[in-house]
Structure 1
Amino acid sequence: MAIILILGAGAMGSAFSFPPADLGHEVMLVGTHLDQEIIRELKKSGIHPKLKMKLPDQVQVFSHEELGAAMICQPDVIILGVSSAGVAWAVQALGPLLEQPVPILLLTKGLAVEEDRLMILPQFVAGGLHGFGIGQFTIGAVGGPCIAGELAARRDTSVTIAYPDREKFYWLNSLFKAPYYHIHYTTDLAGLEICAAMKNFYALAVGYPSGYLDMTDQLQNKAQMHNLSAGLFTQSIKEMAMLADWMEGTSENVYGLAGIGDLYVTCQDGRNSRMGKLLGSGMTYSTAKKEKMPDDTVEGAELALKIGPLLEHLFQKEILDKKKYPLARIIIDAICHDALMQIPWALF
């Protein structure tokens, strides 16, 4: 039996506790300071208020103030399920409590900016923890189409884990490969992380047609705009592949579960596609966020605000060819500059 610590008690972090708990491992779920209401409800009833499911009995629940107590047992693996904005906090919280390197897997999706450099989050976490003088950490990530509510309901789910150490991956696989949780393996950590982050970004554009349709006249044949959605979906994958290649990843994950698969499921029903629908209806991002989604974390928009200025700088310096990223530029304009979103078909 292994001891698994999950930091982040939101929907995905909590849902990730189901496979290892069902396999008989001990799971410690630690909330962040943003998860206080969730932790209180879990301690009271055992039912996660967002997942609407009771957590397995093997899951022990801790508040962020109890992280030190949870770490006393020295977990065999740590899962980061915090938001992208919470990764730096997680590094600072875990660093003083770790006595030696342990395997770490990231559920968190996002990219980091360091001066004029775009970094994947495992690089950021490894560098941050190394600063505590503990040693060199090997860090992997989980990507692919996984809706938290479906995982918590034990619906069949296929994901990809990127981990540099193949032998260690087989051990990790044994901890999480429940009958309903199907794991594929890749060494392409950069490619997987680009897909995990950018699919939220591009889902903003793929969600655009449903809002644009609402603003057009109803036709006699009730034609939809699936053609438009498919065109934007395809352009999104094309640009993700170029960005993955630029960051020394491969197309393996772009055209697999982490890319096409995850973008597909994200566009079905998620906060990013809902924001895209609002943009398609003619709203600016600031208005849509304030009036329609004030309490929602829109990961794609947050990523655009974080990396948009850097990408624009790279376009200006011709480090990246801006002609190859027309959809990315439109999304950045809409989110970072509050411009009305318009699809530049002639530039595709």
Structure 2
Amino acid sequence: MSIITFIGAGQMASALSFPATENGHEVRLVGTPLDRDIIDSAELTGFHPTLKRQLPHEGMTYYQIDDVELALDGTNAVLCGVSSFGVDWFAEQILPLIPDTVPLLSVTKGMIDQEDGTMITYPDYFASKLPAGKKLSINAIGGPCTSYELADKDHSTVAFCGIDMEILKRFKKIFATDYYHISLSRDVVGVECAVALKNAYALGVSLAIGLALGPNGDGKEHYNSQAALFGQSIKEMKHLLKLVNGGEENIIYGAGDLYVTIFGGRTRKIGTLLGRGFTFEEAMAELEGVTLESIVIATRTAHWVRRLAERNMVKLADFPLLMHVDAIINHGVPVAIPWSTFETEKY
């Protein structure tokens, strides 16, 4: 049996407690400063108020952030369960507390654009923030898997990525079940890029849902337009994956994650509202309190692409959907899908 300390009581991290405890491991679920109500509820009744599921009855111990050092005492592995908005907090407050011999597995999806025009993964970002002399094995999860359906034990296929294959195998042994299927990859950049991009493009595809529903939301959902935007998304994602030197096979994780995100969740909601004609400010107000990682990754990716274009390394015309999403959320442009720019001629 292993002891795994989960830092962050969000939906995905909490859902991962199901396979871990089923495999006989002990999960110590630590809430961030924003998770106090979640930890209180889970400790009192076992119910997770945002995942809306009863957490496992056995193998679970709950901690507020004030007791994080106690939760880390004697642990065999740490799982980072914060959102993109919490990576700086995690890097500053938690990384220094993790013993060098304890490997880290992160569920956070996203990448960070740097001033020199490059994009780095969250594992690389965490590594850059380690205190001088500290060494830590930092790994990540990517792939199409929603927290609700993982908790309901629907079949899910994901990838664990990292540098050390033996550590990845240890993590697989902890979490793999007959419904949670895990591939292993040392292509950290490829996996992380593929799954990060899906948030930006899921927002783009969801615009078609809102356009079909109309201003009052009483129209009929159409699928031709969604399929067209899905195809354009894959085209642009493959191009971006190549730019970061990620293996093209990783597109399966990005495409799968894009598919499942379009069918539900926060990104679908914001994209639908924008497609119905809400301004970005109105849509954000409608979803007040909801964490929208799609906004972060779309903005960062568009900024990165613009920097590359300034250096004549890419053409903005090769990313019409991404550029339109960026224009909507950051420059107040109304939704007007640039359909003709998706057309190609091959000789």
Q: TM-score, normalised by structure 2?
A: 0.92
The list of structure 1 runs, each at least 4 consecutive aligned residues, that deviate by more than 4 angstroms after superposition, is: none
- Deviation of 1:306 after TM superposition, in Å, equals 3.8
User: 1:207-222 residue pairs with structure 2 within 5 A?
Assistant: 207-215=206-214
Identity of aligned residues (%): 36
Q: Within 1, Cα distance between the matches of 2:62 and 2:216?
A: 52
User: Counterpart of 1:294?
Assistant: 288
Do residues 64 (structure 1) and 65 (structure 2) align? yes
Aligned to 2:170: 171
**Structure 1 position 332, deviation (Å):** 0.8
Report the equivalent of 1:121: 122
CA-to-aligned-CA distance 1:186-245 (integer Å, 9 cap, x gap): 222111111221101101111111111123899xxx985311111100111111111111
Given the superposition, is the C-alpha separation of residues 223 and 11 from structure 1 closer, same or farther in structure 2, using an over 3 Å criterion?
Answer: closer
Task: Return the alpha-carbon distance in structure 1 between the equivalents of residues 166 and 261 of structure 2.
Answer: 31
Contact 1:95 1:132 in 2 (8 A): no
Amino acid at match of 2:340: A
Question: What SS does the aligned partner of 2:62 have?
Answer: strand
Is the 2:144–2:157 contact (alpha carbons within 8 Å) kept by the matching residues of 1? yes
Deviates more, 1:105-114 or 1:303-312: 303-312
- 8 Å Cα contact 2:215/2:277 also seen in 1: no
Q: Do the aligned residues in 2 keep the contact of 1:308 with 1:336 (CA within 8 Å)? A: no
Mapped partners of 2:85, 2:209: distance in 1: 29
Three-state SS of the structure 2 residue aligned to 1:207 is helix
Distance, in Å, in 1 between the alignment partners of 2:138 and 2:95 is 14
Structure 2 segments unaligned to the other structure (5+ residues)? 343-347
Aligned with 1:342 (options 288, 311, 336) = 336
What letter corresponds to residue 322 of structure 1 in structure 2? Answer: L
CA distance in 2, matches of 1:118, 1:166: 24
Q: CA deviation at 1:307?
A: 4.2
Contact 2:106–2:139 (8 Å) recurs in 1: yes
Partner of 1:4, secondary structure, is: strand
1:12, distance to aligned residue in structure 2 (A)? 0.7
- State how far apart, in whole Å, the 2-side matches of 1:158 and 1:95 are: 28
Does the 8 A contact of 2:143 with 2:256 survive in 1? yes
Residue 101 of structure 1 contacts residue 134 of structure 1 at CA under 8 Å; is this kept in 2? no
What is the Cα deviation at residue 335 of structure 1? 1.0
Report the residue type matching 2:43 in the other structure: K
Cα distance, 1:274 vs structure 2 = 1.3
Q: In the alignment, does 2:230 pair up with 1:229?
A: no
CA-to-aligned-CA distance 1:57-90 (integer Å, 9 cap, x gap): 10111111111111122x2221111011111111
Match of 2:260 in 1: 265
Summarize the Cα distance change of 1:281–1:216 in structure 2 as closer, same or farther, 3 Å threshold.
Answer: closer
SS state at 1:33 partner: coil
Match of 1:156 in 2: 155
**RMSD between superposed Cα atoms in Å:** 1.9
In 2, Cα distance between the equivalents of 1:152 and 1:91? 28
Amino acid at match of 2:138: I
Q: What is the identity, as a one-letter code, of the residue corresponding to 1:207? A: S
What does residue 327 of structure 1 align with?
321
Q: What is the aligned residue count?
A: 339
In structure 1, list runs of 5 or more residues that go unmatched: none
Deviation at 1:272, TM superposition (A): 0.7
Alignment of 1:31-70 (within 5 A): 31-56=31-56, 57-70=58-71
Counterpart amino acid of residue 61 in structure 2: Q
The one-letter amino acid paired with 1:229 is: Q
Query: Which residue number in structure 2 is paired with residue 134 of structure 1?
Result: 134
Give the conservation status (yes or no) of the 8 Å contact 1:96–1:132: no
TM-score by length of 1: 0.92
> How far has the Cα of 1:155 moved from its partner?
2.2
Distance 1:224 1:294 in 2: 25
- Alignment partners' CA distance in 1, 2:64 and 2:139: 25
Match of 1:312 in 2: 306
CA distance in 2, matches of 1:70, 1:223: 50
Q: Separation in 2 of the partners of 1:345 and 1:52?
A: 39
Q: 2:310 is aligned with what amino acid?
A: Q
Could you say which residue in structure 2 is the equivalent of 1:250? 247
